Structure 1
Amino acid sequence: MEPLRVLELYSGIGGMHHALRESRVPAHVVAAIDVSTVANEVYKHNFPHTHLLAKTIEGISLEEFDKLSFNMILMSPPCQPFTRIGLQGDMSDRRTNSFLYILDILPRGAISKLSKAFCFDSFSLSRGLLIQTMEACGFQYQEFLLSPSSLGIPNSRLRYFLIAKLQSEPLCFQAPGQILMEFPNSGTVQPQEYAVVEEGKLRVRTREPDVCLDSSSTQCSGQDSILFKHETAADIDRKRQQDSDLSVQMLKGFLEDGDTAQYLLPAKSLLRYALLLDIVKPTSRRSMCFTKGYGSYIEGTGSVLQTAEDVQIENIYKSLPDLPPEEKIAKLSMLKLRYFTPKEIANLLGFPPEFGFPEKTTVKQRYRLLGNSLNVHVVSKLLTVLCE
């Protein structure tokens, strides 16, 4: 089998390239393209011999693309125009210009095999245009909604992915009209849970009834829990179920040894955001999605780690309401809460041990770059499925 000639668009810090290596699919990255100076420095640090183009995608002509003579595309376009947190401008957001440009030139290029990976959190007009382009170009495709936890990784990072190849080289499984929420095996897929798009909206379906539907259900053990934070009984029950899932690894296998004192939460953050923190322990089997705002913002940007082993978090939080600010800080400090280090987040995202940043890359920049990246193991598995 001749090695695939791969074009890596929106290359970032090289998550796609690492996934390609991990998959062991015979391939050579002919070029990587990204406009971010900081991301490109990290990419060069890890892939010094790859041809890297620091320019906008829409600034490259069809003729220039054809000269690269590629037969596979990997890309992860910016997700901000489509996410709940973003403005959801979709195709009106200028950050989609490069993606729309790619869809415009694809029908005019000679591509024999195509793989794409996206991080859309909502289903958009752009997705519809993507599907139309795939069908017009004669590609068979499959959509997925996948999280690293499905591979036993203790991190939630639900993302939309699409893989596609020419009809002459069909996929090794069949799941027409379904957006799979698990990895397929060969043959016809019968997933336990999948998603469909009906009337422009994403609907999740399951082949078996849910075990725990809401916090009022008698099956939800969390209903008797002490709500010591801004959490519902259902939230607590969900986290307990995640921590009891033995198919998922513990966080301690992804943590760094050594001095991490610089990552302790400052007193001001402890006092202001105590009730919003998602706190995990080294023995936990879960963590929130880490976003580019991690380390700078608290709410919704990722979990924090409790490093004090002999302190009960429930006892600390139950004692807080009647304490003055100084004593609240003293109590919360007993938990020894800290941010995950950039290296630990990279570990959870599946980057290999040899992955690193240039020394001049600041901690804030590292968090931002990782928050914009993807999970290497998930993409690697999809590449294996695509090329079977």
Structure 2
Amino acid sequence: MRPMHGFFPLPVNLTRDKKDTGDARAFSFLQILELIPFLLQPPSMLFVENVVGFETSDTHAKLIEILEKTNFITQEFILSPLQFGIPYSRPRYFCLAKRKPSSFGNEFLNRQLIQSPKPLFEPFNVDSKEDDLSLEDRHNLLQSCQPIEKFLVLKNPSNDTDVESAASTTGVSNDISRTSGEDNENEYDPLDKYYVHPSLLERWGSAMDVVYPDSKRCCCFTKSYYRYVKGTGSLLATVQPMKRDKTSLKEQRLRYFTPREVANLHSFPEDFEFPEHVSLKQRYALLGNSLSISVVAPLLHYLFTEA
């Protein structure tokens, strides 16, 4: 019989809620972990993903304890698409585990937490301190990323379009209520529903993360993107201001990234598309809970490569 493989994503941020193993949402994950020692044919490999901070949690300690007791070796990573040339800040924790006698290419990294993608592609110097990036190193990392415009689908409007009238169809509160018809992306002008209403700029403008087509970084998109503007992901300025600051947000004509653009920043393939019945809000929610292919693909390749 062919060996079994396991893929265990942990979909909730237990550490942020400070409940950890006491959180009911961790119950299914803990149940899976506790079953591993009793399996007649345990999986030969495991892949776990979570938010940064999981590595210091009680649930993480339980994960490592059980894996070590069941003859697994582990290597752990904290990686972001920024490290792969994608202008998208989405750092995530990953645990890769192999059951002996299988082994990793860089065995000296066993039981270590690595914050560099280099071990995935080449022999890695265990003495290097690439985790401790200086400000200059971080600047160089960002400069190596592609500009956001490479991931955009919709063209910018002309600079003389009136901001108020163009944004008037996009809702009036931070929790944006829309009709069911507005969830159909084909019923309206493709740009109209993505503009941020001026009332939101007045209330939440100081908390918005604004990026430009030539920016080399944008913030992580959450499942609440498009419903809320605060802390859910970056907004795109479609009109270049004379000065890039928060005093001219109305003139910058901010809009949300479209689902296809968010998918592009997740490195989804060009032929990826949602079924027509999936609403706009549902698309954002699914993307917000998704994984970055630019990060996960080399991790999986590394996991499946025998030493």
Q: Same fold (TM over 0.5)?
A: yes
Is 1:124 matched up with 2:41?
no
How far is the alpha carbon of 1:245 from its aligned partner? Answer: 3.5
Q: CA deviation at 1:177?
A: 4.2
CA 1:334–1:120: 2 relative to 1, 3 Å: closer
**Superimposed CA distance per residue, residues 8-62 of structure 1 (whole angstroms, 9 cap, x where no aligned partner):** xxxxxxxxxxxxxxxxxxxxxxxxxxxxxxxxxxxxxxxxxxxxxxxxxxxxxxx
- Of 24, 28, 40, which residue of structure 2 is paired with 1:98? 28
1:217 counterpart residue number: none
Asked whether the equivalents of residues 114 and 164 of structure 1 are also in contact (C-alpha less than 8 Å), the reply is: yes
For residue 135 of structure 1, what is the amino acid of its counterpart? E
1:287 aligns with 2:184: no
Q: Distance in 2 between matches of 1:365 and 1:189?
A: 44
> How far, CA to CA, are the matches of 1:193 and 1:355 in structure 2?
35
**1:157–1:355 distance in 2 versus 1, CA, 3 Å:** same
2:100 is matched by which residue type in structure 1? Answer: Q
Structure 1 residue 211: Cα displacement: 4.2
In 2, Cα distance between equivalents of 1:302 and 1:211: 23
Supply the distance in 2 between the matched residues of 1:99 and 1:128 (Cα, whole angstroms): 13
1:361 aligns with 2:294: no
Q: State the AA in 2 paired with 1:377.
A: S
Q: Measure the CA separation in 2 of the matches of 1:273 and 1:152.
A: 30
Match of 1:180 in 2: 114
Q: What CA distance in whole angstroms lies between the structure 1 residues aligned with 2:282 and 2:43?
A: 37
TM-score (norm 1): 0.63
Residue 75 of structure 1, CA deviation: 2.3
Give the counterpart letter for 2:210 in structure 1: I
d(CA) in 2 for partners of 1:117 and 1:248?
Answer: 26
Cα separation, 2, equivalents of 1:211 and 1:367 = 33
TM-aligned CA deviation for residue 192 of structure 1 = 2.9
2:7 aligns to what? 74
Counterpart in 2 of 1:59?
Answer: none
Query: Are the counterparts in 2 of residues 281 and 307 from structure 1 also a CA contact under 8 Å?
Result: yes
Alpha carbons of structure 1 residues 92 and 167: separation in structure 2 relative to 1, 3 Å:
same
Out of 133, 139, 154, the residue aligned to residue 257 of structure 1 is 154
Of 374-383 and 259-268, more deviation after overlay is shown by 259-268
Q: Residue in 1 aligned with 2:242?
A: 312
Query: 1:288/1:211 Cα in 2 relative to 1: closer, same or farther (>3 Å)?
Result: closer
Shift of 1:121: 2.5
Contact 1:79 1:121 in 2 (8 A): no
| Match status 1:338 vs 2:255 | yes
8 Å CA contact 2:76–2:114 kept in 1: the answer is yes
Cα distance, 1:103–1:189 mapped onto 2, change above 3 Å: farther
CA contact (8 A) 1:175 1:189 kept: no
The one of 163, 176, 186 equivalent to 2:96 is 163
| Secondary structure of residue in 1 paired with 2:73 | strand
Inter-partner Cα distance in structure 2 for 1:179 and 1:188: 13
C-alpha change, 1:118 and 1:245, in structure 2 (3 Å) is closer
Q: Is 1:274 the equivalent of 2:171?
A: no
* SS of equivalent residue, structure 2 residue 285: helix
Q: How many residues align?
A: 264
1-structure distance, mates of 2:150, 2:222:
21
2:293 corresponds to 1:376: yes
Q: What are the Cα deviations for residues 274-293 of structure 1, in whole angstroms up to 9, with x where unaligned?
A: 11111111111100011111
Partners of 1:277 and 1:303 within 8 A in 2: yes
Q: How far off its partner does 1:136 sit?
A: 0.9
Partner of 2:158: none
Q: Name which of structure 1's ranges 255-264 and 289-298 shifts more when overlaid on structure 2.
A: 255-264
Tell me how far 1:117 sits from its aligned partner: 2.4
Measure, in 2, the Cα distance between the counterparts of 1:71 and 1:335: 52
Contact 1:291 1:302 in 2 (8 A): yes
Could you tell me how far apart the structure 2 residues matched to 1:341 and 1:132 are?
42
Identity, % of aligned pairs? 35
Q: Which runs of 5+ in 2 are unaligned?
A: 156-189
Q: Tell me how far apart the structure 1 counterparts of residues 6 and 269 of structure 2 sit (CA, whole Å).
A: 22
Matched, 1:138 2:71: yes
Q: CA deviation at 1:270?
A: 1.0
CA distance in 1, matches of 2:194, 2:79: 30
1:211-266 CA distances to partner (integer Å, 9 max, x unpaired)? Answer: 47xxxxxxxxxxxxxxxxxxxxxxxxx8xx37x84321111111113542210001
The answer to whether the 8 Å contact 2:52/2:78 transfers is: no
Pair 367,307 (structure 1): closer, same or farther in 2 beyond 3 Å = same
8 Å CA contact retained: 1:80, 1:88: no
SS of aligned partner of 1:193: coil
